Amino acid sequence: MSHSTRCAACKSLRRRCPKDCVLAPYFPPTNPQRFACVHKIFGASNTTKMLEQLPLHLRAVAADCMSFEASSRVEDPVYGTVGIISQLQEQIIEAQSELVKTKSEIAFHNAQQQLQQQQMQQLQMINAIAQEGEDWP
C-alpha cells in the first residue's frame, strides 16, 4: 500500500511512497524545496536514519531543525547555522557591555544623589545648632 500522493522525498527520489514512509509526515509534496535542501546537505539516507532513531513524538521538531540547518547551509555554504551563532554571541557581548555601562551610570547618579542628601542633612544640622545658639542668651 502506498500514499496516493507521493511525499516530496519519494517524488524527488523517484520511488514509490509507502504508507509507512518515514519521511512523508515531515516532507509534504507541497514544499519540495524543504526536502531538496535536506537532501543536498544531509542526504536522504542520513535524514531517514536520524529520524528513525528518534521516538515518533520528537521527529517533527527534529525534521524542522534539520530543515533549518540545511537551508542555512545552502544560504551560507561556509558557516551555515554557525554564522548565526557567531552573530548572536556578538550581540550578547555588545548588549552586556551596554548594560554594564548603563548600570554604572545609574550607580554614579545614585551615589551623587546620596552624597547630596548627606550634605543637605549636615547643613540642616548645622543650621539647627546655629539657631539654638541664637535662641540662648
From the CA atom positions of the chain, what is the Rg in Å? 34
14-43 residues near another protein, rule: CB under 8 A: 40-43
Q: Pick the binder of another protein from 5, 45, 122, 127 (CB under 8 A).
A: 45
Separation of alpha carbons 81 and 97, rounded Å: 25
DSSP 3-state of 61: helix
The footprint of another protein on this chain (CB under 8 A) covers a number of residues equal to 44
What's phi and psi for 68, nearest 5 deg? -65, -45
Q: Pick the binder of another protein from 7, 23, 24, 66 (CB under 8 A).
A: 66
Please report, to the nearest 10 degrees, the dihedral formed by the alpha carbons of residues 17, 20, 26, 31 taken in order. 20
Of the ranges 4-12, 14-22, 103-111, 127-135, which one interacts with another protein (CB under 8 A)?
103-111
DSSP 3-state of 9: helix
What residue ranges bind another protein (CB under 8 A)? Answer: 40-43, 45-46, 50, 53-54, 58, 61-62, 64-66, 68-69, 72-73, 77-89, 91-93, 95-96, 98-99, 102-103, 105-106, 109
